[in-house]
A and B are shown apart, each in its own frame.
Chain A
């Protein structure tokens, strides 16, 4: 069945002179490149581009694409990533010619439909967040974090306050401290308790007038809702700091709890997670940011506003941090989020979260008997099991379990994150999976824990590449193809 040449590089398929391009006759005067560019700008030889016939190109990439796992082909319980099903109607609606063929330089009058959609998306996201001022500009969740922290920096500069630190718990996504550093802050880690919540004694010891922002993910990366949230927000606000909510886990609380109500001043969404956009090849994504009204003056431009029946793009407001993305952001993924929100409506979104939490708890109840879940018997939208005991008894690691699942046709859960759980196996089923799928996954995982260590150390056995050498890949990455 498998095409045996499909793993060869496109360069290796190349044969000199074998092109697949048919060009129309030249209808302009011919000019040589030597007459247009100075000699030192000319290459000595043409670049070594692959010369391949069209069917070979198509087969090459089509075959490679079938080696991948996707939500449309496999169950994908990748914790923290919310790999829910991406409804096809979103694809169809976001590809309507009226959206698809717009150009950002068109006159505003001719963009009214799109601007209305973006305006309504701003309103809806603000309402779900409980934070009314919204920008759709950031191109990804981490970009949203950076945008919000730049807003915080501008805000404190305006107040004449020297605040240099950003606090984040040790269970935070790695993007939190990275964004804080990029925005010019020093990052300070706050410990978690054994139960998986913010260690409030450690937080209070580190909380002083130099703290600009406390970044918190709630529900957190262990799949737990930190019920100290409002108290934490009060402490931070008493010292003049701001609360940033990393909205990665919004899929657990849509229509149930609003971050603005539990103390957040700023947050981002990941539309590709929560609102069913595709997780595609690194982009294009979006990371809309919502903030309290008094921080709205600092939002990046443009923001869509409404004047009667007319929608306009507001140019830079006086306190704006500037532009963070060209044009209107990544409109395609925003349109998909809008379709998803309209499809479900307020009650439907609440049911999305209820079912996400129900599915996670059902799976937790089946898994915890053979793979301990250190942080308790209940969870929100995901849970973190530990293969620590298994490793001690048999030498089988979280990585071994993850790799072996591929052989059974399941995508692996997230492993070794969060860092606070040894041998972490982080499972997020999402609301779109059936009980049968969850049962099949739990039974397979159970079966794997009974397999021999020798078999598991060598897994996966059924994929074209088994275990890439991650050490060499990190230390000596081969980034370029050369003919030698």
Chain B
């Protein structure tokens, strides 16, 4: 289990095909997923100008849109990789979008979701499968 503040190893994260990463941790209430977007995604998006975060407390399903990032090129929706309730969002992020590029796996986290259903985790990729997808897209 990862603890907050410990250097994140991106090889230990899970990834969705739409470029969100997931870090799982367990507490008394069950599993909590911390979610962000990958370094590859940030690089593809190029210069970011806006970001919209979801509301804390919202129930979200895997595959559902939870926010969006806008770059000088396009607006891209963000899709939740898991099912659950949003328990925290990184509210400083929209004012410091450079964090997404500088530190995408730690300070660049976007939201935390308490899982209500773990079945969607099976659809996520490990690091090597995700790297393969990126090399095909890039």
Contact = CB atoms under 8 A, between A and B. Distances in A.
For chain A, the bracket of interface size reads: 10 to 19
A347 interface: no
Interface in B41-66: 44, 47-50
Nearest to A424: B73
A419 B49 CA distance: 18
Contacts of B75: 174
Contacts of B50: 474-475
Given A416-B74, A419-B74, A471-B72, A392 B49 contact: no
A30 interface: no
A474 B47 CA distance: 10
Nearest to B98: A471
Contacts of A474: 49-50, 70, 72
Contacts of B47: 470-471
Interface residues of B, number: 12
A471 B48 CA distance: 7
A475 B74 contact: no
A170 to B, nearest CB: 11
A475 B138 contact: no
Contacts of B28: none
A374 interface: no
Give the interface SS of chain B, mostly helix, strand, loop or mixed: mixed
Interface string B59-103: 000000000001011110000000000000000000000000000
Nearest to B48: A471
A364 to B, nearest CB: 24
B137 A471 contact: no
Contacts, number: 23
B137 A422 contact: yes
A470 B71 CA distance: 9
Interface in B95-138: 137-138
Contacts of B73: 416
A392 B72 contact: no
B138 A422 contact: yes
A470 B137 contact: no
Interface in A168-194: 174
Contacts of A417: 74
Interface in A360-391: 388
A392 B50 CA distance: 27
Interface of A: 174, 388, 392, 416-417, 419, 422, 470-471, 474-475
Interface of B: 44, 47-50, 70, 72-75, 137-138
When A and B form their complex, which 7 residue pairs have the shortest distance between CB atoms, in order from nearest?
Answer: A474-B49, A470-B72, A416-B73, A471-B47, A475-B49, A419-B74, A471-B49
